[in-house]
A and B are shown apart, each in its own frame.
Chain A
Amino acid sequence: MSRETILASIRAALPPGQALPELDNFGLHYDDPIQQFITTAEAVGANLQSVDNRGGIAAAVQAFLPGASSILSHVPEVPCKNFTRDADRDPHAYSDLDLIVVEGLIPVAENAAIWVPDSQYDDHAAMVLTQHQVIIVRASDLVDHMHQAYAKVAAAEVPRFGFFLSGPTKTADIEQSLVLGAQGTRSLLIIMIRDESTSTI
């Protein structure tokens, strides 16, 4: 009933038709998208570690959080610790999680955002309840900007859940003072794999 009332009131009020503009990505291109991504990632509070190939992942994770009390890893190079992968777990159990390790699919140079859909982890809750986070990206997957990123997202089946993540959580709600680690992840390490020839996912 509300539905019909609302649609009728909209139809009675519609402005003259206006064409949808052609999507344009403005030809924005970074000469060095890797450097642009790294600089921006650091500016939004992320830590960044470049590695030559996947062989460097384990050491980078270890160096980032040597004392991690628990690790939930979604990559073969890093073992889980005091946590096992269980897709049917009650999501509340992730409140004890110290570190999660996942792969990101589309790193974006302009804003250091990384597309991480739910194919990359067992539970969305684990991604936000964890204290710390590692996201692994390949330099060869880098796109310049969000127009390219969404073209890639739209080309695949849209996941039930997915997010662009840019840096650890933050707030400036108290007198504009930036505080990293507001409610979700306190810190984020992005591991960038530079050598695409040896990478496999």
Chain B
Amino acid sequence: MIDHAQHARNFTANAERTAWHDDALWFVREKRDKATKLIPEWEELREQASQVKMHMLSRLDHYLEEFERNATARGIQVHWAEDADAHNRIVHAILERKGVKNIVKSKSMLTEECHLNPYLAERGMDVIDTDLGERIVQMRNEPPSHLVMPAIHIKKAEIGDLFHEQLGTDAGADDPKYLTEAARQHLRPKYLEADAGITGVNFAIADTGGIVVCTNEGNADLGTSLPPIQIHCMGMEKLLPRLEHLGVFTRLLARSATGQPITTFTSHFHGPKPGGEMHVVIVNNGRSAILAKPEFRRSLSCIRCAACLNTCPIYRRSGGYSYGSVVPGPIGSVLSPAMDLEKYAALPFASTLCGSCTDVCPVKIDLHDQLLAWRKYVVKEGYLDKGKARQMKMAGKLLSSPTLYRTASFLSKGMKLVPRVLLYNKKNKWGMERELPLPAKRRFRDLYRKRPRS
């Protein structure tokens, strides 16, 4: 089981770094706020996006078949993968058949979820992640710590050292412009040598049979326009019914993600290049099981903008790796338990339930309600931490009995007389790293009874 609290403790042990991380994410959250305030109809736009996605999910089988039909008519080869393993086998078979050795891949959380890179590497293929942030974490043998900014947890001096070691940049150089130029020079030959390009999919369009990929660096375009084979891997919930729906989602995505008015590239692929092959792999990997759960199915509307990560007080102060899941943050804490409840039982508790995630979500996923709903499942399945379970049981008894509650509330008047060691110990998790508030001098009950009556 992932111990989020322990991982978070390790992260916050470095107070200076925690504050730096917190500030970096908050900076992005503020940029998002500024961008959304320029759009008077922002809230209506979110509502429309939410309704389009819920409609799509209610007819997902129909739209998947429509997409397949239209894509096939355009010469695109459509594949279906039941799980991560099937996805990897399909992608590998396509590449194997053509003798592919060198692959460039632009950002795709789905291929992270399926662990495609190690699968291909074990079979003698070389996969280069081309998004700068992803390339940085790949060079460090780390997974991304954020959906949109994979290297948000790394300082520029560390990237400078990494590039000095692996790309031969000047020792001690940490100017972002200089380092970005070095990455450009490092990546360009990789595109030119590539035998195949792989990308994720931001949106697939049922009525045209095409897919859309959004980047700022142009790396998905570089990776797909040169080699003869292009493969696009998509979670099956990425569908939109009609091309016109992109008007709604392209207005929401980048503003929610980084505060940009739109990504630099919004690239629409509707068929293979002359003499080339274009493949789309549609992946289930547990999504139909989420669809079957009424209280969680809205999470399939997610467009991976990461606004919920940037605003989350827990994510900002515990870092992406503390979640131990491919997708971190609030959205990861509702998606991951659906994959493996026992392993990810702690994640629904990595939240204050403040609801900020729900407020910023461009497709109106009820994230904090889902986090609460997952807590009930965790308890029901017996995965709740024993100490927490004991406390909850006691609190439950106390709060459900008026007599017990009154007695406790009367006794709590004496709390300031209780020795600290009794309140602040390992058994009382709520007293750890927190000062318990002293009870008010006069209880509400007393005030109410003594209220002036007319």
Bound CA–CA A43/B34 (angstroms) = 14
When A111-B261, A164-B250 are in contact, do A6 and B80 touch as well, CB less than 8 Å? yes
Bound CA–CA A161/B289 (angstroms) = 34
Structural contact, A169 and B261, CB atoms closer than 8 A: no
Structural contact, A10 and B270, CB atoms closer than 8 A: no
Bound CA–CA A184/B52 (angstroms) = 33
Residues from chain B with a CB closer than 8 A to the CB of A7 are 61, 64-65
When A10-B64, A173-B150 are in contact, do A183 and B155 touch as well, CB less than 8 Å? no
Residues from chain A with a CB closer than 8 A to the CB of B291 are 10, 13-15
Bound CA–CA A89/B256 (angstroms) = 40
Chain-B contact segment, one of A55-63, A72-80, A144-152: A144-152
Residues facing B in A103-119 (CB within 8 A) are: 110-113
Structural contact, B247 and A21, CB atoms closer than 8 A: no
Structural contact, B156 and A163, CB atoms closer than 8 A: no
Per-position binary interface string of chain A over residues 138-182, scored 1 when its CB falls under 8 Å from any chain B CB and 0 otherwise: 000000011111110110001111111111111111111101011
Query: Which A residue sits closest to B75, measured CB to CB?
Result: A160
Residues facing B in A24-70 (CB within 8 A) are: 24-26, 28, 40, 43-44
Nearest chain A CB to B49 CB, angstrom units: 9
Candidate in B179, B242, B270 with the most chain A CB atoms within 10 angstroms: B270
When A21-B48, A170-B217 are in contact, do A160 and B270 touch as well, CB less than 8 Å? yes
Query: Which B residue sits closest to A167, measured CB to CB?
Result: B264
Structural contact, B264 and A13, CB atoms closer than 8 A: no
Nearest chain B CB to A75 CB, angstrom units: 21
Query: Which A residue sits closest to B282, measured CB to CB?
Result: A6
Per-position binary interface string of chain A over residues 112-129, scored 1 when its CB falls under 8 Å from any chain B CB and 0 otherwise: 110000000001110111
Structural contact, A13 and B288, CB atoms closer than 8 A: yes
Residues from chain B with a CB closer than 8 A to the CB of A158 are 208, 210, 243, 268, 270
Bound CA–CA A173/B139 (angstroms) = 14
Residues facing A in B72-120 (CB within 8 A) are: 74, 80-82, 86
Residues from chain B with a CB closer than 8 A to the CB of A150 are 243-244, 246-247
Identify A40's interface contact among B133, B261, B289, CB under 8 A: B261
Residues from chain A with a CB closer than 8 A to the CB of B59 are 14, 17
Residues from chain A with a CB closer than 8 A to the CB of B65 are 7
Structural contact, A92 and B226, CB atoms closer than 8 A: yes
Chain-A contact segment, one of B38-46, B328-336, B357-365: B38-46
Interface assignment of A19: CB less than 8 Å from any CB of chain B = yes
Total residue contacts A-B, CB cutoff 8 A = 249
Residues facing A in B182-202 (CB within 8 A) are: 183-184, 187-188, 192
Identify A169's interface contact among B41, B179, B264, CB under 8 A: B264
Interface size class of A (residues with CB under 8 A): 35 or more
Bound CA–CA A92/B227 (angstroms) = 9
Structural contact, A183 and B219, CB atoms closer than 8 A: yes
Structural contact, A21 and B150, CB atoms closer than 8 A: no
Interface assignment of B18: CB less than 8 Å from any CB of chain A = no
Identify B82's interface contact among A5, A124, A145, A165, CB under 8 A: A5
Candidate in A11, A181, A184 with the most chain B CB atoms within 10 angstroms: A184
Residues from chain A with a CB closer than 8 A to the CB of B54 are 15, 18
Structural contact, A146 and B61, CB atoms closer than 8 A: no
Structural contact, B216 and A170, CB atoms closer than 8 A: yes
Bound CA–CA A177/B151 (angstroms) = 12
Identify B270's interface contact among A123, A147, A161, CB under 8 A: A161
Structural contact, B243 and A9, CB atoms closer than 8 A: no
Structural contact, B288 and A9, CB atoms closer than 8 A: yes
Nearest chain A CB to B389 CB, angstrom units: 31
When A20-B52, A124-B221, A184-B222 are in contact, do A175 and B24 touch as well, CB less than 8 Å? yes
Bound CA–CA A10/B151 (angstroms) = 35
Interface assignment of B271: CB less than 8 Å from any CB of chain A = yes
Bound CA–CA A5/B177 (angstroms) = 49
Structural contact, A183 and B284, CB atoms closer than 8 A: no
Residues from chain A with a CB closer than 8 A to the CB of B149 are 172-173, 176
Identify B265's interface contact among A15, A43, A163, CB under 8 A: A163
Structural contact, A11 and B61, CB atoms closer than 8 A: yes
Residues from chain A with a CB closer than 8 A to the CB of B210 are 158
Candidate in A18, A44, A167, A174 with the most chain B CB atoms within 10 angstroms: A174
8 A-B pairs within 8 Å (CB atoms) are namely: A6-B82, A9-B289, A12-B292, A15-B291, A110-B251, A128-B225, A183-B132, A184-B222
Q: A14-B60, A183-B187 are in contact. List 10 more A-B contacts (CB 8 A).
A: A20-B51, A23-B244, A24-B44, A26-B41, A125-B225, A146-B250, A147-B248, A161-B270, A174-B159, A177-B156
The 9 closest A-B pairs by CB, nearest first: A184-B218, A111-B261, A13-B292, A173-B133, A26-B41, A177-B176, A9-B288, A125-B225, A147-B247
